A and B are shown apart, each in its own frame.
Chain A
Amino acid sequence: MPRYLLSVYQPDGPVPAPDILGAIMRDVGAVRDEMKAAGVWVFAAGLLPATSATVVRAKDGRMLTTDGPFVEGKEHIGGFTIVNVPDLDAALEWGRKVARATTLPIEVRPMQEGHA
């Protein structure tokens, strides 16, 4: 079955107050449990802030290392989930559940098949 990457796009800056964040984490946990129960959950992770990111690239035979995320912006990927579902409609349905739980936009993107 095709796999899809559901990426959470999170605004940079301070995290929500503990009570709000707590409720969000509870809802996100509930969606994860639902995914596991449905047998579609493959992997998920939350990421530390984009300010902690580093970019390395090969240039003219040398490696270049720079501070910060690759794309400058006000929002960055804050976490992701990989699901294994039959088609885009099913992936979008899970994406909507994650969007409701996180209160953030979710990018749903198919993964290449046939590669581990």
Chain B
Amino acid sequence: MAVLVRLTGDIPLAEEAVQDAFAIALERWPAGGVPPSPGGWIISTARNRAIDRLRREQTRDQRHEEADRLLARDESIEDSAEDPTMLDDRLRLIFTCCHPALSLEAQVALTLRLLGGLTTAEIARAFLVPEATMAQRLVRAKGKIRDARIPYRVPESHDFDERLSGVLAVIYLVFNEGYAASAGESLMRDELCAEAIRLGRVLRSLLPEQSEVAGLLALMLLIQSRRAARIDADGALVPLGEQDRSRWERPLIEEGQTLVRECLRRNTPCPYQILAAINAVHADAAMTSDTDWRQILELYDQLMTFGASDVVRLNRAIAVAEVEGPAAALAIIDRLELDGYHLLHATRAEMLARLGLEAEAGREYERAIALTQNEVERAFLRGRLRRSTLA
């Protein structure tokens, strides 16, 4: 797909041509056998179909020029499965899909559609919008790429860091939406997490020198390793401190920790790496009581140097509660301007409950419940509320 987008410079045309090529393959391969390089066969067939399609639209001179341009490209695309051009194409496509001239939701949808393995229907389901809406969003985004001539290339060095941050933000958003679904009945949407990790791995293979990429992949792997332990047999949410740590997936932890160590060696800290390191500290603790909260607090302090948002301060307050006690944490929480953010109220309730202020804690849990859209999180908070009123 990425190769065809480069050759044609037109995403809808490339999509149609690739679909054509697969349709031809379905007809021919069962009878004539699979060609020696199926990937290369698909690409060259799709290229020919693209040329045919361009020629058919004879009314426009410009289309003819494009067909000629395509024909003139005498590239050895037959043996392309893992060649460097193909990897470059994929990298270009990532940067095009995550171009800041597209809305964030369009960036996410395009990335999942063109780089991920998800269909329009699957993406629509994952983001709880009707399929027609998602299809429309994709059509509009591709139209803008074509009309505004959003370039299909890796950004130049003066732009690169900022554009890469944009790409990482899209991948992390996909992961987060999968991990903590903002609404709906189930807490996680696994296909989004899996897709985000897959994209993280692709990006890492394309940009092995970028520690920010390694940091994001490590962060996602370490969070994902706790997936099975995060939900109990009844589908209820289990908080980190109460999880059965034997159910954490060791291979994911090891892969994540290896990446964190690699980042530490490079010594170019960035927020994703630090968040990954915080999760690595949790992964190191065989039991909750073994958690090295001082180290976590130090990492949060380091994270704060990268522009501290109130959400970061709120998470840091949780570490402060473990090191200095709930009163110190509450003092931090009360200075935050996150009124209406359900996790602020849930965390505040937790601190009040630990201080024995049950009535106040109950009121905060109720606020958090009212502000939560996700059913599983809401059920968890109701459980906490009952516990604090019984105490």
Q: Measuring CB to CB, which residues of chain A are less than 8 angstroms from any residue of chain B?
A: 2, 86-89, 92, 108-110, 113-114
Contact = CB atoms under 8 A, between A and B. Distances in A.
A113 B146 CA distance: 12
A109 B101 CA distance: 11
A89 to B, nearest CB: 5
A110 B101 contact: no
A90 to B, nearest CB: 8
B155 A110 contact: no
Contacts of A114: 62
B151 interface: yes
A114 B61 CA distance: 10
B159 interface: yes
Nearest to A113: B62
> What does DSSP make chain A's interface, helix, strand, loop or mixed?
mixed
A89 B155 contact: yes
A110 B62 contact: no
Contact of B150 (A87, A109, A113): A87
Given A88-B101, A89-B159, A92-B101, A110 B147 contact: yes
Nearest to B149: A87
A113 B63 CA distance: 13
B148 interface: yes
Contacts of B62: 113-114
A113 B147 CA distance: 10
> What does DSSP make chain B's interface, helix, strand, loop or mixed?
loop
Contacts of A2: 149
Nearest to A90: B151
14 contacts: A2-B149, A86-B149, A86-B151, A87-B149, A87-B151, A88-B99, A88-B150, A88-B151, A89-B150, A89-B151, A89-B155, A92-B101, A108-B148, A110-B149
B159 A110 contact: no
Q: Which of B148, B150, B159 has the most CB of A within 10 A?
A: B148
Nearest to A110: B148
A46 B159 CA distance: 30
B155 A88 contact: no
Contacts of B101: 88, 92
A114 B147 CA distance: 13
Nearest to B62: A114
A88 B148 contact: yes
A108 B147 CA distance: 12
Interface in B31-48: none
Given A87-B150, A88-B149, 4 more contacts: A88-B148, A89-B151, A109-B148, A110-B147
Q: Which of B147, B149, B159 has the most CB of A within 10 A?
A: B149
A69 B159 CA distance: 37
Contacts of B151: 86-89
Interface in B46-105: 62, 99, 101
A86 B101 CA distance: 16
A97 to B, nearest CB: 13
B166 to A, nearest CB: 13
A12 to B, nearest CB: 27
Contacts of A86: 149, 151
Interface string B15-30: 0000000000000000
Interface string B141-165: 0000001111100010001000000
A69 to B, nearest CB: 25
Contacts of A87: 149-151
B57 to A, nearest CB: 14
Contacts of B150: 87-89
Contacts of B155: 89
Nearest to B151: A87
Interface string B178-198: 000000000000000000000
B65 to A, nearest CB: 11
Q: Which of A88, A108, A110 has the most CB of B within 10 A?
A: A88
Contacts of B147: 110
Nearest to A1: B149
A92 B148 CA distance: 11
